[in-house]
């Protein structure tokens, strides 16, 4: 699958949270497509590890520490990206996190933390990217939702609300930016094999329970999410905007 081509030669694509998990896989595949890539994460150590394991990318990969819910960090991230590569062809809003909690018992500070990292950060980065892309009169924005944004699940409430917000943000931005040749879409995975969801899929009993709800009968690898993201970043998706592609092995079809 990694040999598929999306014609992303020399495109400049910023991937938030590219230091591990799905984001790292997206970055790895984008570099294989000869894109130039900017990544961010909160921890310098994580970024250093990602850069050293992708050393062959050389100066086609730029890593900037940034918390995407902090406006000054986002400004710095985009300034550095433009200073280094001169433009931004694509933004992948990949950052997301969850802390398992019921909605009713959640402390407001926990609500804020989950909303900030998933929703406010996506807003701040999309807004910044859109301002650059509007001048360029082209660009692609792809945000990471989740099927938790469509199916209410206990303990995933705040996360699901944030992801539902990302899907509405995708539609609103698509309308606001259509006249500038900027396409805005999202990808909504079900469970994917990363550290984020490891407590669930690494437990044999839970794994079998989850797999029973997935018609294709397995939990996907990050590369299976990276490909739809790359497609949405490519010219092949020039007439697709305001959409969310569900990548869940058929779970939501039930
Ligand atoms: N894995 C799944 O089962 C699954 C399912 C559906 C949807 N998703 C969505 O897919 C996306 C990626 O998930 P994942 O499983 O790859 O997550 P992950 O393995 O936990 O990786 C998260 C990445 O985001 C960075 N990050 C987290 N908070 C950040 C912040 N506030 N500012 C900047 N960087 C931040 C992390 O680096 P630092 O820690 O250094 O900041 C890391 O690079 C998320 O949006 C998630 O909601 C995942």
pLDDT digits (tens, 9 = 90+) for 82-130: 999 999 999 999 999 999 999 999 999 999 999 999 999 999 999 999 9
Domains and CATH numbers, the chain: 12-247 (3.40.50.720)
Task: Verify whether ligand 1 is closer than 6 Å to residue 46 (CB atom).
Answer: yes
Note the pLDDT tens digit of each residue in 48-83: 999 999 999 999 999 999 999 999 999 999 999 999
Q: Could you give the residue ranges of the DSSP H alpha helices within 8-43?
A: 21-32
Q: Quote the pLDDT of residue 2.
A: 63
Question: CA–CA separation, 158 vs 161, rounded Å?
Answer: 5
Section 134-144 average pLDDT: 98
pLDDT at 3 over 90: no
Task: Verify whether ligand 1 is closer than 6 Å to residue 160 (CB atom).
Answer: no
Name 157's Cβ contacts closer than 8 Å, sequence gap at least 6. 101, 102, 103, 106
Whole-number Å distance, alpha carbon 35 to ligand 1 midpoint, is 21
Handedness of CA 125, 81, 35, 194 (dihedral sign): negative
**6 flagged as catalytic:** no
What 8-state DSSP symbol labels residue 56?
Answer: G
Whole-number Å distance, alpha carbon 179 to ligand 1 midpoint, is 31
Question: CA–CA separation, 17 vs 34, rounded Å?
Answer: 20
Residue with tokens 């998990």: 21
Residue with tokens 């009169």: 137
In 10-102, which ranges are E strands? Answer: 12-16, 36-41, 61-65, 90-93
Which pTM does this prediction carry?
Answer: 0.98
Q: Using a pLDDT cut of 70, give the percent of the chain over it.
A: 100
Q: Residues for the chain: how many in total?
A: 254
Closest CA to ligand 1's atom 25: 17
Whole-number Å distance, alpha carbon 130 to ligand 1 midpoint, is 22
Please pick, among 24, 85, 123, 159, the residue that the annotation labels catalytic. Answer: 159
Closest CA to ligand 1's atom 2: 192
Task: Verify whether ligand 1 is closer than 6 Å to residue 124 (CB atom).
Answer: no
Atom of ligand 1 nearest to the CA of 159: 47
Of the candidates 144, 122, 142, the one whose C-alpha atom is nearest the C-alpha of residue 183 is 142
Best mutation site among 41, 53, 118 for ligand 1 pocket (most ligand atoms within 8 Å of CB) = 41
Section 215-219 average pLDDT: 97
pLDDT at 234 over 90: yes
């Amino acid at each position: 699958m990694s040999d598929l081509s999306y014609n992303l030669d020399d495109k400049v694509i910023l991937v938030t949270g590219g230091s591990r998990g799905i984001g790292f896989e997206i970055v790895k595949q984008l570099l294989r497509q000869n894109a130039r890539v900017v990544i961010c994460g909160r921890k310098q150590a994580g970024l250093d590890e990602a850069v050293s394991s992708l050393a062959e990318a050389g100066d086609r990969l730029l890593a900037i520490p940034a918390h995407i819910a902090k406006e000054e960090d986002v400004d710095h991230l985009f300034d550095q990206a433009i200073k280094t590569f001169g433009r931004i062809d694509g933004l992948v809003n990949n950052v997301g996190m969850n802390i398992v909690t019921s909605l009713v018992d959640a402390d407001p500070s926990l609500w804020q933390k989950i909303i900030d990292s998933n929703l406010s950060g996506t807003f701040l980065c999309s807004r910044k990217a859109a301002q650059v892309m509007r001048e360029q009169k082209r660009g692609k924005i792809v945000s990471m939702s989740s099927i938790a944004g469509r199916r209410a699940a206990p303990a995933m409430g705040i996360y699901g609300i944030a992801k539902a917000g990302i899907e509405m943000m995708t539609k609103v931005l698509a309308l606001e930016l259509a006249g500038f040749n900027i396409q805005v879409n999202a990808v909504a995975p079900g469970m994917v094999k990363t550290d984020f969801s490891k407590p669930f899929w690494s437990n044999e009993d839970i794994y079998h329970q989850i797999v029973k709800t997935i018609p294709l009968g397995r939990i996907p690898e990050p590369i299976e999410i990276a490909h739809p993201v790359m497609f949405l970043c490519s010219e092949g998706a020039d007439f697709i905007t305001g959409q969310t592609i569900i990548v869940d092995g058929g779970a939501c079809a039930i």
